[in-house]
Structure 1
Amino acid sequence: MRKVYVDVMSTFTTDGELLLLFFLWEDGTRYDIDKVLDFQKAASLKVGGQGIRFRCRVMNKEVYIFLEEDKWFMEGK
């Protein structure tokens, strides 16, 4: 497994909540984020790195998106 850096489109609500809208995979494919299920400070045990881990639903699958300092990454094969 490897760390894959992705572009994430997000916005803040007027209440200050961070909303994740979609991400672009390394080949340019856009994936809409259906729902953020939870988030917490955590490490990626598969590829290393730590930060805030967002557990999301994308196309009826659970995926993790990590915010490490000022970069977004996911666990790739």
Structure 2
Amino acid sequence: MIIMKINLEVIAAFDLDGNVHPKAIIWEDGRVFEIDRVLDVRRAASLKAGGLGIRYICRIRGKTVKLFNDEGHWFMEK
């Protein structure tokens, strides 16, 4: 089984210190999913899809997902 990245557009806010706060993801088919809550933020690698960056563990519609920002490129593990 090959694990791939799902590249996403993300709607985000930036605070005065330059920290990024993702607010919603735009899925491949154009659907928009609001991020209900960010549970954790840390520098981490995607062990399934490869890549290193900031990992956001988020709750979207009651489901916990990992969202990665790798130098401005957003992705999730497929």
Under a length normalisation based on structure 1, what TM-score does the superposition of the two structures give?
A: 0.89
Counterpart pick for 1:9 among 8, 11, 19: 11
- 2:35 alignment counterpart: 33
Counterpart pick for 1:65 among 64, 67, 77: 67
Counterpart AA for 1:50: L
- 2:21 alignment counterpart: 19
CA deviations over 1:43-66 (Å, ceiling 9, x no partner): 011111110000000000100110
How far residue 13 of structure 1 moved from its aligned partner, in angstroms, is: 3.3
SS in 2 for 1:5: strand
SS in 2 for 1:6: strand
Q: Aligned residues, how many?
A: 76
Q: Aligned equivalents of 1:44 and 1:13: distance in 2?
A: 25
Work out the percentage of aligned pairs sharing the same amino acid: 45
Q: What does 1:36-47 align with in structure 2 at a 5 Å threshold?
A: 36-47=38-49
Under a length normalisation based on structure 2, what TM-score does the superposition of the two structures give?
A: 0.88
SS in 2 for 1:10: strand
Please provide the CA RMSD for this pair: 1.3
Q: Which runs of 5+ in 2 are unaligned?
A: none
- 2:51 alignment counterpart: 49
